[in-house]
Amino acid sequence: MTPVAIRLTVNGRPESLVDVPSGERLLDTLRWRLSLKGTKEGCRTGGCGACTVLVDGRSTLSCLTLAREVEGSEITTIEGVGRDGTGARVQEAFRAAGAVQCGYCTPGFVMALTGLLKERARADGFDALLEDLGGNLCRCTGYAAIVRAAAALRPGTGAP
């Protein structure tokens, strides 16, 4: 695999990376090259959602995305999502609902929910939103609190 140079913006900061193997996953680039450890590796197969980040505002599984595929993109990780109005609201809803147990899945859920809210602007309804979050797994069975956090973000709830 021939190394490549990649330029992207991560959490609002421009990054220029050199000698990135063409097969390197975005997850590894974020965690090991940029030391952004909030993005978790759960399954390496896209089945758990722990590695979810936003690529140009869309929820993306970083374990299934090659770093070279996001050349020129804006990447948002859990470390930077609080700077965004929607992301900050999602984080506050999780805090208020106590939607954290061990915390391993939390970054993926926060990122997925932030991305879904941005992508659909609440047009598809709450049940569809929960269905789309079904790709994120919590091994501590903290789903009730996660659903409460998501429910608090519905229009008309006075949510954070």
What's the pLDDT tens digit per position in 93-134?
A: 999 999 988 889 999 999 999 999 888 755 567 788 888 888
Listed residues 51, 76, 101: the one ending a domain:
76
Average pLDDT estimate for 28-32: 98
**114 and 94, same structural domain?**
yes
Collapsed DSSP state (helix, strand, coil) of residue 87: helix
Higher pLDDT, 100 or 40: 40
Q: How many CA atoms lie within 13 A of 67 on its CB side?
A: 28
**63 and 9, same structural domain?**
yes
Predicted model pTM: 0.91
Asked whether residue 130 is domain-assigned, the answer is yes
Say if residue 88 is exposed, middle or buried (CB neighbours under 10 Å; 0-12, 13-18, 19+): middle
Name the domain count of the chain.
2
Asked whether residue 141 is domain-assigned, the answer is yes
Average pLDDT estimate for 58-78: 97
Range of the domain at 87: 81-151
**17 and 62, same structural domain?**
yes
**112 and 85, same structural domain?**
yes
Return the pLDDT at 121. Answer: 59
* CATH number of the domain within which 133 lies: 1.10.150.120
